[in-house]
Amino acid sequence: MTEQRTSMHGQWTTRWVFVLAATGSAVGLGNIWKFPYITGENGGGAFVLIYLVCVAAIGIPIMMAEVMLGRRGRQSPINTMRVLAKESNKNPMWQFLGWSGMAAGFIIISYYSVIAGWALAYVFRAGVGVFEGATADGINSIFNDLVNDPERLLAWHTIFMVMTIAVVARRVKSGLEKAVCWLMPMLFILLLILVGYAWNSGDFSAGLKFLFEPDFSKLSQEGVLTAMGHAFFTLSLGMGAIMMYGSYLPAGTSIAKTSIMISIADTGVALLAGMAIFPLVFANGLEPGAGPGLIFKTLPLAFGHMDGGTLFGTLFFVLLVFAAWTSAISLIEPPVAWLVENKNVNRVWAAVVTGIGAWLLGVGTVLSFNKWSDVKWFDKTIFDLLDYLTANIMLPLGGFFIVLFAAWIMKREMSKDELAIENPKMFELWYFLVRYVTPIGVIAVFLKSIGVI
Ligand code: TRP
């Protein structure tokens, strides 16, 4: 039964490379920039609780399904879904999942690159000591000066996109491996240092209370959807990025264990970021719901006042850029792999074309923070709209159909065979989760967000 395929794009050397690459994809701006600011906007504890439940009950089972489908199909998500549907004698329309995922990834990378550009800009601001002794007001205006200037944003956005294209064009698997191996643990340690600073100098108890004491009266209907959407976003699920990485995974690796490890590391980073930021927010009388600028308005305060702050600050933003870089690579990889497979072009060309397209779309996000900040639909700027559409709608829908496929379309023996979980009870648990709990959970959150339940 087990017919072995291999990917034309190569394979990870060991399962550790896969774990590192997938963790590199998962840990990024979502954890350090987005998680704190949407937690602040959505009232804290109750939002965090829903997010954690979604990671465990929806995220981990879907991650396992994605890795499994990818490893079985061994191609870009579109071709993987087509091959697997054929293998199960089902409608080739399932490949649509690959298309919508590719579209979601393309939209996400367009704005992701703009925000990563902010982090790049902050490397230099921290490096020359701009934050030393600065006040909250001063730091606020440093941020506003940056986002109000479309030319500067465009320049940083361009630099980040070129960095991403450069890596994807060359498939530097070993470069990625080294980067993630060293830089992720460093980022983790630096976050611990920041939490230590927040403990000493911030209002730590107020921060913890905000993060971990659920008050459901503060959580809106839409907030529930945002929490679930973020579980998808932060774990890189629902668009085929993890499926793509799974397609490079050597046979015989435990998909369950690796998925759980990746999810724990990812969640840990987000919670640490929250514990570093909110104590500073409350100690300095800042607004938790300050929006996308939150970390850029709070962390520089810590760097400006701690010993060695210029060094730590610079290092922090360098590592944040790296974290964003390893995530951006995974966002752009599915369309690049598809172009190489289907259009008979080389990787360099595929990466450049995809990158230029995403760069162009990113210009909309750049302008949404300044010249077009009044252009709104449903009270959302272009950036907010693209983020909402992808994270809250496209990723959960994509994830929903991915588990439907894995649980109801693909034959049970096939998934059992591919997952190769040693303990039969664990397989039963996964199968139960993906058949019932995960899809019903996604639907329930959708219904909740529109007020039906
Ligand atoms: N997970 C990344 C982050 O938290 C972003 C990301 C990378 C992503 N690849 C993805 C989000 C695929 C959704 C889908 O920063």
Q: Is residue 8 part of a domain?
A: no
Average pLDDT over residues 255-283: 94
Q: Is 377 helix (H, G, I), strand (E, B) or coil?
A: strand
Residue from 55, 115, 167, 331 whose mutation best tests the ligand 1 pocket (most atoms within 8 A of CB): 331
Task: Indicate if the pLDDT at residue 252 is higher than 80.
Answer: no
| Position 2 pLDDT exceeds 60 | no
Q: What is the 3-state secondary structure (H, E, C) of 264-323?
A: HHHHHHHHHHHHHHHHHHHHCCCCCCCCCCHHHHHHHHHHHHCCCHHHHHHHHHHHHHHH
Q: Is the CB of 30 under 6 A from ligand 1?
A: yes
Going by the DSSP 8-state scheme, the letter that residue 333 receives in this structure is H
pLDDT, position 420:
82
Mean model confidence pLDDT for the chain: 91
Q: What are phi and psi of 380, to 5 degrees?
A: -120, 140
Q: Measuring CA to CA, which residue among 317, 25, 352 is closest to residue 156?
A: 317
CATH number for the domain including 372? 1.10.4160
**What percent of the chain shows pLDDT beyond 70?**
97
DSSP 8-state code for residue 249: P
In a domain, 6, yes or no: no
- Supply the DSSP symbol for 190: H
Query: Cβ(25) to ligand 1 under 6 A?
Result: yes
Q: For residue range 190-208, list pLDDT tens digits in order.
A: 999 999 999 998 999 999 9
Q: Return the pLDDT at 3.
A: 56
Q: Which domain holds residue 49?
A: 15-449
How far is residue 234 CA from its own chain's centroid? 4
Would you say 88 and 225 are in contact if contact means Cβ atoms under 8 Å apart? no
Confidence of residue 12 (pLDDT cuts 50, 70, 90): confident
- 71-95: average pLDDT: 88
Going from the Cα of 361 to the center of ligand 1, the distance in angstroms, rounded, reads: 18
Among 1-5, 275-279, 290-294, 440-444, which is the least confidently predicted range? 1-5
Q: Using the 8-state DSSP alphabet, how is residue 100 labeled?
A: H
Cα–Cα dist 413/418, whole Å: 8
Which whole number is the average pLDDT over 142-158? 96
Residue 391: its pLDDT value, please? 95
Whether 351 maps to a domain, the answer reads yes
Termini Cα distance of the chain: 44
In a domain, 147, yes or no: yes
The protein residue with its alpha carbon nearest to ligand 1, atom 10, reads 236
More confident call, 130 vs 11: 130
Distance, in Å, from the CA atom of 426 to the CA atom of 445, rounded to the nearest integer, reads 26
Kindly state if the Cβ of 108 falls inside 6 Å of ligand 1. yes
User: Is 346 part of any domain?
Assistant: yes
How far apart are alpha carbons 337 and 340 in whole angstroms?
Answer: 5
Considering its fold, how many domains does the chain have in total?
1
Q: Is residue 411 part of a domain?
A: yes
State the pLDDT at residue 1: 42
Which ranges of 369-449 would DSSP assign to H, the alpha helix? 382-387, 395-404, 412-419, 424-432, 438-449
Tell me: pLDDT of 217 over 70: yes
With a 6 A CB cut-off, is 236 part of the ligand 1 pocket?
Answer: yes
> Which pTM was predicted?
0.93
Residue 369 domain flag: yes
Q: Report pLDDT digits (tens) over 162-186.
A: 999 998 888 656 666 777 778 888 8
Q: What is the mean pLDDT of residues 295-319?
A: 91
Pick the closest to residue 61 from 242, 248, 265 (CA basis).
Answer: 242
Q: Identify the band that residue 423 occupies on the pLDDT scale cut at 50, 70 and 90.
A: confident
pLDDT at 172: 57
Of all residues in the chain, what percent carry a pLDDT higher than 90? 67
- In tens, the pLDDT along 39-77 reads 999 999 999 999 999 999 999 999 999 999 999 998 888
Residue type, 41: E
| Per-residue pLDDT tens over the stretch 323-366 | 999 899 989 988 888 898 889 899 899 999 999 999 999 999 99
> How many angstroms is it from 346 CA to the middle of ligand 1?
25
Q: H or E element: which one contains 85?
A: helix 77-87
In a domain, residue 365? The reply is: yes
Q: In terms of Cα–Cα distance, which of 195, 324, 339 is closest to 272?
A: 195
SS3 405: helix
Tell me, in angstroms, the distance from the centre of ligand 1 to residue 423's CA.
30
* 3-state SS class at 141: helix
Q: Does position 25 have pLDDT exceeding 80, yes or no?
A: yes
The arithmetic mean of pLDDT across residues 78-89, rounded, is 89
